C-alpha cells in the first residue's frame, strides 16, 4: 500500500494511475465506432464506452489487488472509486474497448463471440513495471453482446469476486478481482431458462489480469482466413506475455505453443488438487497465459464424484465434469494448434507439443499426489496402486474431498506404531468427511482401514518426521475453500442488503491452509439443506 504520509489525496491516487495501453497501440482496431451488435472482421478489438449506471455503491474490494495497482485502502473507499469501477467515470489514460474472439462451445464452433458484457478500461503500468489490465464485467452492451444486455447480476458477481481471490490465495494461477460494485440497476434474468424470469440487483466486478487473451482470440482469425491479423496477435502475445522467448518466428511459435501446453497442464493439476470444477471449459474460456478465467457456473467438488458438473447446460453430456477437465484441456489445446498451424505449416511439431501436455500433466499429477499424501516423491511401483485404490474408496461412499485430505494428516498421529491401531481408531479422524454414515458398510470400513495401513507403511518407509509430513500435507490440502453453499449464503445476505458475509469470506479465504480455529464453521461440509438447492448444487450461465 502507499504510505499514509503520501502527499496525494485518495482521489489523486486514482487519477495518477499510469495507463500504458499496448493492446490498443499495437494491434488492429475495429474502424466502426458504433456500439451495435455486428460481425467485426480483421480487428482484435472495438472501442466502446461503458453504460452509465444509476447509483454505484462499493460492496467490497481486494486490498492485495489494490496494492498491485498502487492504490491505498482510502483510495478504494472514495466515491470516485465506485464511479470509476461502475464505468461511470473514466480516469486519465483510460481508453475502453471490448475484445473480439471466437471459440468452440461444448465441442462445436460458435463463430464470433467476443466480450459481450466485459469492457477493458486499459492497462495500468505499476511501480514494479508490471502491466495489469482492468476489465469491467457487466457494464453494458458491446458489438459482441449478441442477444444479451451486457449486464451482470449480484449473485454471479459475488461468486466471481470471491472465487478469483480465493483461487489466488490457494496458489492457483488466476485472473484477479479488484472490486465488487452495485450498480443501482435492476436486471431481468431467467436463472434456469425455465420461463420464470425475475428482477435481480445489478453489479459489476473489476477483473484484473496481465492478459485476457484466450484460445479463441486466435481461432477467430484462422476461421476467417485473416492470417495477417493472426500473426500480429501471436507476435504481440509473445513479445509481451512471454518475454522470455526469442523474437517471433516459426521456431519461437513452436516454443510458445509448448509453453502454453505446460502452463495449461500445470493449471489442470491445480484444479484437480483442490477439487475445482470450471463448468464451462469452452475454448473462449481458456487463457493463453495458463490462468483460470471466466468464473461462471463453477463449483467446488464436495462429494468426490468424478462425473459431477456444476453447470445445468452440461448436466446431460457432462463434457466439463471434474474428471474430464484434463482431457478437455488437451482437446482445447488441439484447437489452438489448428488455429496457429497456418503460421507454422507443419503438423508434426504441434502434435509433439500436445504430447508434451500429456507428459507434463502426468508428471505434475504424480508430484501433486505425493504432496497431498505427504510423501517425499511419487514412486510409481507402489504409489500408482495406492492412489488407484484411494480414488475408488473416495467414490464408493459419499466423501467430502477437502475434509478427507485435510484430516488424513491426523490418521495415526502421535502413535508409535500407527499401523497396529484397530480399524475404529484408524478411521476416527476421517468420520467427519462422510455425508451418509449408512454407506459405511463393514466392507467399506475394512477396505478403508486396509488402505490406511498400506498408506502408513508407505509413509514410514520415507523415514520422515511426522511433523514434516503433516506440514507438507497441510500446505497443499486446504482447510477452507469457497464451498458452493457458503457462496450462496453470502449471496442471500447481499441480496437483502447485508454484505458482511462477503467481507468475512474474503478474509477467511486469504488463509485457506491455516487452521483459523475461530473460523471453523466455514470448514464444515455441505449441510443437507444445500444438497439440491439452486446455487449450491447446480448453476446456469445466467448472470
The catalytic site residues sit at: 284
Burial of 225 (0-12, 13-18, 19+ CB in 10 A): exposed
Assess contact for 144 and 112: CB atoms under 8 A: yes
Tally of CB atoms within 10 A around 391 = 14
- DSSP lists the bridge partners of residue 124 as 19, 132
Tally of CB atoms within 10 A around 18 = 14
CA angle, corner 425, sides to 400 and 366, nearest 5? Answer: 45
CA gap 176, 62 in Å, rounded: 9
253 Cβ neighbours under 8 A, 6+ residues apart? 234, 238, 340, 343, 344
Please report, for residues 119, 268, 343, 539, the alpha-carbon distance to residue 173 in angstroms, rounded to integers and kept in the order given.
Answer: 22, 10, 28, 23
> Which residue, among 297, 116, 335, has the nearest Cα to 219 in the 3D structure?
335
Q: What single-letter DSSP state applies at residue 416?
A: S
Assess contact for 309 and 320: CB atoms under 8 A: yes
CA gap 147, 162 in Å, rounded: 28
Assess contact for 360 and 262: CB atoms under 8 A: yes
Question: Which residues in 403-434 are b (16+ Cβ under 10 Å) and which e?
Answer: bbbbbbbebbeeeeebeebeeeebbebbeebb
What are all long-range contacts of 454-461, with beta carbons under 8 Å and residues at least 24 apart? 454/386, 454/389, 455/373, 455/386, 455/390, 455/411, 456/411, 456/412, 456/418, 456/419, 457/419, 458/373, 458/375, 458/382, 458/383, 458/386, 459/373, 459/374, 459/375, 460/419
Q: Residue 74 belongs to what H/E stretch? A: helix 73-76
Amino acid at each position: 500500500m502507499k504510505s499514509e504520509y503520501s502527499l496525494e489525496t485518495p482521489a489523486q491516487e486514482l487519477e495518477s494511475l499510469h495507463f500504458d495501453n499496448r493492446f490498443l497501440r499495437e494491434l488492429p482496431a475495429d474502424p466502426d465506432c458504433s456500439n451495435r451488435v455486428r460481425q467485426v472482421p480483421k480487428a482484435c478489438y472495438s472501442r466502446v464506452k461503458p453504460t452509465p449506471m444509476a447509483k454505484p455503491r462499493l460492496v467490497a474490494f481486494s486490498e492485495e489487488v489494490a496494492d498491485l495497482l498502487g492504490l491505498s485502502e482510502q483510495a478504494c473507499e472514495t466515491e470516485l472509486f465506485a464511479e470509476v469501477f461502475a464505468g461511470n467515470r473514466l480516469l486519465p489514460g483510460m481508453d475502453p474497448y471490448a475484445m473480439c474472439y471466437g471459440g468452440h462451445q461444448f465441442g462445436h464452433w460458435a463463430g464470433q463471440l467476443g466480450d459481450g458484457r466485459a469492457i477493458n478500461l486499459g492497462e495500468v503500468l505499476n511501480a514494479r513495471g508490471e502491466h495489469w489490465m482492468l476489465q469491467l464485467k457487466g457494464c453494458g452492451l458491446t458489438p459482441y453482446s449478441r442477444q444479451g444486455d451486457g449486464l451482470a447480476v449480484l449473485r454471479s458477481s459475488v461468486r466471481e469476486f470471491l472465487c478469483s481471490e480465493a483461487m489466488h490465495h490457494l496458489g492457483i494461477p488466476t485472473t484477479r478481482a479488484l472490486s465488487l460494485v452495485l450498480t443501482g440497476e435492476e436486471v431481468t434474468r431467467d436463472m434456469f431458462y425455465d420461463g420464470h424470469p425475475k428482477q435481480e440487483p445489478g453489479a459489476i466486478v473489476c477483473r484484473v489480469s496481465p492478459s485476457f487473451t484466450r484460445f479463441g482470440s486466435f481461432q477467430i482469425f484462422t476461421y476467417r482466413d485473416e492470417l495477417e491479423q493472426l500473426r500480429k496477435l501471436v507476435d504481440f502475445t509473445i513479445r509481451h506475455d512471454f518475454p522470455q522467448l526469442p523474437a517471433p518466428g516459426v521456431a519461437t511459435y513452436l516454443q510458445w505453443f509448448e509453453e502454453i501446453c505446460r502452463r495449461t497442464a500445470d493449471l489442470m493439476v491445480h484444479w484437480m488438487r483442490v477439487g475445482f470444477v470450471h463448468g464451462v471449459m469452452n475454448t473462449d474460456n481458456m487463457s493463453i497465459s495458463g490462468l483460470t478465467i471466466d468464473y461462471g457456473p463453477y463449483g467446488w467438488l464436495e462429494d468426490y464424484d468424478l462425473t459431477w458438473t456444476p453447470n445445468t447446460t452440461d448436466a446431460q453430456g457432462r463434457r466439463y465434469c471434474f474428471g474430464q477437465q484434463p482431457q478437455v484441456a488437451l482437446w482445447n489445446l488441439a484447437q489452438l494448434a489448428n488455429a496457429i498451424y497456418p503460421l507454422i505449416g507443419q503438423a508434426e511439431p504441434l502434435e509433439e507439443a500436445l504430447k508434451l501436455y500429456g507428459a507434463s500433466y502426468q508428471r505434475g499429477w504424480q508430484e501433486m499426489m505425493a504432496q497431498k499424501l505427504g510423501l517425499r516423491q511419487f514412486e510409481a511401483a507402489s504409489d500408482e496402486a495406492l492412489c488407484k485404490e484411494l480414488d475408488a474408496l473416495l467414490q464408493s461412499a459419499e466423501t467430502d474431498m477437502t475434509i478427507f485430505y485435510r484430516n488424513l494428516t491426523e490418521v495415526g498421529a502421535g502413535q508409535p506404531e500407527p499401523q497396529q491401531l484397530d480399524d475404529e481408531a484408524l478411521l476416527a479422524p476421517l468420520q467427519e468427511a462422510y455425508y451418509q454414515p449408512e454407506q459405511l458398510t463393514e466392507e467399506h470400513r475394512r477396505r478403508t482401514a486396509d488402505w490406511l495401513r498400506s498408506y502408513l507403511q508407505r509413509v514410514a518407509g520415507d523415514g520422515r518426521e511426522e511433523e514434516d509430513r503433516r506440514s507438507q500435507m497441510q500446505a497443499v490440502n486446504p482447510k477452507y475453500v469457497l464451498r458452493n453453499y457458503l457462496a450462496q449464503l453470502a449471496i442471500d445476505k447481499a441480496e437483502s442488503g447485508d454484505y458482511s458475509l462477503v467481507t468475512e469470506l474474503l478474509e477467511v479465504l486469504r488463509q485457506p491452509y491455516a487452521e483459523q480455529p475461530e473460523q471453523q464453521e466455514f470448514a464444515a461440509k455441505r449441510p443437507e439443506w444445500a444438497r439440491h438447492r439452486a446455487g449450491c448444487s447446480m448453476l446456469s450461465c445466467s448472470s
